[in-house]
Amino acid sequence: MSIKFLLDEDTQLALAQAFRQRGFEAVHVSELQRKGLSDPEQLDFAAQNGYCFFTFNKRDFVILHTEYTVLNKTHHGIIASPHLSISDILRCLGVLVTTLSVHDMKNELRFL
């Protein structure tokens, strides 16, 4: 089973489309009518639905990852990235998904 991604609203919608064109299973929160919900709500949804969460919001998601760890809650991974070009993000993610499995990403926080 390959990693599937939920992209935060701080990322471009075009990024989700680019992920899918490269064969990744990916959806942007706006495509699910989840825009405007809180970060904890977004991560809870991702965790409940088997998504690895992709965001540019490093600060808040480091805090959320820590909270999940302290509370012994499970998520399917968080990838925090600086604002890079879509091609750079896809290149970095391509490396990541070829070296890590869904199991490897469980409860992990990774940075591009």
Domain membership flag for residue 74: yes
Entry pTM:
0.95
Domain membership flag for residue 48: no
| Confidence band, pLDDT 50/70/90 cuts, at residue 64 | very high
List pLDDT tens digits, range 9-51: 999 999 999 999 988 899 999 999 999 999 999 999 999 999 9
- Residue 73's domain spans which residues? 4-38+59-111
**Separation between Cα atoms, residue 41 and residue 34, nearest integer Å:** 9
Cβ proximity of 57 and 83 under 8 Å: no
Cβ proximity of 55 and 80 under 8 Å: yes
